[in-house]
C-alpha cells in the first residue's frame, strides 16, 4: 500500500509538472508584437473633434480609414470622413457622407464601418440620427477602392448594419454583421447579428439572448469553419463573450472573460496564423462613461479566452485613447487605428510573429 501511494504521488507530480510546463511553453510560444510605424492620420484637422475610426485593407494595397467628425459628438454637423494611405503616406481627409435630410433638417452621423468583400466590393456603413437610441443604418458602395461612391442607401427596416466593428464573410460568401441596440431609456443594451448574401442583399436578423448583461459593439473571431466567438463591450467591467458552432446561426449564453472593460469599445481580429489579437482599455469603469480610457493595450490569444498583453499602445494617467479598429493587411502586418483625445486618429502598425 505504501509503494502504491508513493507511485501514485510520483505519477500525479509528473502529470502536474507536465501540465504546468506545457502551459508555460504555450505562453512562451505566443507571437510577439513589434512596432513598425505610428503616426497621426490628420495634419491640421479641419474639424474640432473626431471619433470612432474604422480601417480596411484594399486590393490595390492601399489602406483606407474613416471616422466621424464635427464640432462635437452628436452635433448636427458631424459627417463621415475618409483618408487613404499609399506608400505610408496619408491623403488629405475628405468628407464622404452627411446626415442632411433636407434644407431645414440635419442629423449627426455616427460610427462608420469599412468592409471589403472577397469580390472587391467596398462597403461604407454608418449611422444617422440624434443618438444611438434612435439612429438608423446607412450604406454606400464603391467599385474602385473608395475613389468614388454610390448614392447613400438606407438599410432595410429593423437593420442597423455593423454598429462599430467590421463584418466577417463566411466561406459560403454570406456576410455577418456584428450589431447591437440601446433602449430609449438607456437601461438595456443588447447585441445581435445581421446577415446578408455576398452582395450585401437579403438582410436577416439573428437574435442573441443577452440575459442580464449590458453589451454592445461586438467583434467576430473565427475559430474553425463553423465556430465563431463574439467579444463585446459591457457594463460588467469585463469583456463579455458568446460562442456559435453553426456559423452564427445560434449562440450560447453570454459569459465574461478575464479581460477588464471600462465600458469602452474594443476590437479584435483572427490572424492568419490562427491567433487572435484584441485591442482594449485595460482598466475598470469609473463614475463617468469616459473614465478608464487613458491606457490602451494589444493582447494575443490562441483560444479567445486567455489573453496575454503583447504591446502597450498608450500608457498615460489621463486622456482618451479609445474605440480601436484592427485588421491584418495582405502583407501580414497588423494595422490599428483609434481615437486620440478626440482631436485626431492615430494609426499604429505592428508586426506580430
Note the pLDDT tens digit of each residue in 144-171.
999 999 999 999 999 999 999 999 999 9
Tell me what the mean pLDDT of segment 276-280 comes to: 98
Q: What share of the chain is helix, strand, coil (3-state, %, to 5)?
A: 10, 45, 45
Is pLDDT at 13 greater than 80 in this prediction? no
Note the pLDDT tens digit of each residue in 125-143.
999 999 999 999 999 999 9
Note the pLDDT tens digit of each residue in 325-351.
999 999 999 999 999 999 999 999 999
Is pLDDT at 36 greater than 90 in this prediction? yes
For the chain, give the percent of residues with pLDDT over 70: 92
- Report how far apart, in Å, the C-alpha atoms of 249 and of each of 195, 199, 263 are: 10, 19, 27
d(CA 87, CA 283) in angstroms, rounded, equals 35
Angle at 181 between CA 66 and CA 175, to 5 degrees: 60
pLDDT value, residue 17: 43
pLDDT value, residue 28: 55
State the pTM of this model.
0.92
Is pLDDT at 191 greater than 90 in this prediction? yes
φ, ψ of residue 10 to 5 degrees: the values are -65, -45
Tell me what the mean pLDDT of segment 307-324 comes to: 98
Of 203 and 13, more confident: 203
Kindly indicate the confidence band of residue 9, based on its pLDDT and cuts at 50, 70 and 90: very low
Is pLDDT at 320 greater than 90 in this prediction? yes
Tell me what the mean pLDDT of segment 203-214 comes to: 98
Of 23 and 145, more confident: 145
pLDDT value, residue 4: 46
pLDDT value, residue 39: 98
Tell me what the mean pLDDT of segment 89-106 comes to: 98
Q: Which three cell numbers stand for residue 332?
A: 501580414
Is pLDDT at 352 greater than 90 in this prediction? yes
Helix, strand, or coil here: 2? helix
- Report how far apart, in Å, the C-alpha atoms of 221 and of each of 192, 216, 218, 243, 303 are: 15, 16, 10, 10, 10
Note the pLDDT tens digit of each residue in 42-95.
999 999 999 999 999 999 999 999 999 999 999 999 999 999 999 999 999 999
Amino acid at each position: 500500500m505504501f509503494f502504491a501511494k508513493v507511485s501514485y504521488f510520483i505519477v500525479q507530480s509528473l502529470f502536474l509538472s507536465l501540465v504546468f510546463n506545457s502551459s508555460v511553453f504555450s505562453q512562451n510560444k505566443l507571437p510577439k508584437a513589434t512596432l513598425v510605424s505610428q503616426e497621426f492620420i490628420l495634419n491640421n484637422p479641419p474639424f474640432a473633434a473626431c471619433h470612432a475610426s474604422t480601417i480596411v485593407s484594399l486590393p490595390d494595397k492601399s489602406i483606407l480609414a474613416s471616422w466621424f467628425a464635427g464640432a462635437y459628438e452628436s452635433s448636427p454637423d458631424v459627417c463621415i470622413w475618409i483618408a487613404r494611405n499609399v506608400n505610408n503616406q496619408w491623403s488629405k481627409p475628405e468628407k464622404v457622407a452627411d446626415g442632411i435630410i433636407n434644407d431645414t433638417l440635419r442629423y449627426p452621423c455616427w460610427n462608420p464601418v469599412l468592409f471589403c468583400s472577397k469580390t472587391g466590393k467596398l462597403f461604407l456603413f454608418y449611422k444617422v440620427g440624434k443618438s444611438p437610441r434612435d439612429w438608423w443604418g446607412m450604406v454606400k458602395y464603391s467599385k474602385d477602392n473608395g475613389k468614388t461612391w454610390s448614392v447613400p442607401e438606407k438599410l432595410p427596416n429593423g437593420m442597423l448594419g455593423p454598429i462599430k466593428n467590421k463584418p466577417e464573410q463566411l466561406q459560403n460568401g454570406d456576410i455577418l454583421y456584428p450589431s447591437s441596440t440601446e433602449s430609449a431609456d438607456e437601461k438595456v443594451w443588447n447585441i445581435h447579428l445581421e446577415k446578408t448574401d455576398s452582395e450585401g442583399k437579403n438582410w436577416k436578423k439573428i437574435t442573441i439572448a443577452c440575459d442580464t448583461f449590458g453589451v454592445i459593439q461586438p467583434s467576430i473571431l473565427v475559430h474553425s469553419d463553423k465556430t465563431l466567438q463574439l467579444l463585446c463591450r459591457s457594463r460588467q467591467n469585463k469583456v463579455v463573450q458568446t460562442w456559435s458552432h453553426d456559423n452564427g446561426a445560434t449562440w450560447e449564453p453570454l459569459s465574461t472573460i478575464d479581460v477588464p472593460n471600462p465600458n469602452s469599445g474594443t476590437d479584435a481580429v483572427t490572424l492568419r496564423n490562427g491567433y487572435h489579437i484584441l485591442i482594449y482599455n485595460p482598466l475598470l469603469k469609473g463614475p463617468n462613461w469616459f473614465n478608464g480610457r487613458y491606457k490602451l493595450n494589444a493582447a494575443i490569444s490562441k483560444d479567445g479566452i486567455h489573453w496575454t498583453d503583447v504591446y502597450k499602445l498608450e500608457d498615460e494617467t489621463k486622456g482618451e485613447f479609445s474605440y480601436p479598429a484592427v485588421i491584418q493587411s495582405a502583407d501580414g502586418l497588423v494595422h490599428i487605428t483609434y481615437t486620440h483625445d478626440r482631436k485626431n486618429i492615430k494609426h499604429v502598425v505592428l508586426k506580430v510573429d
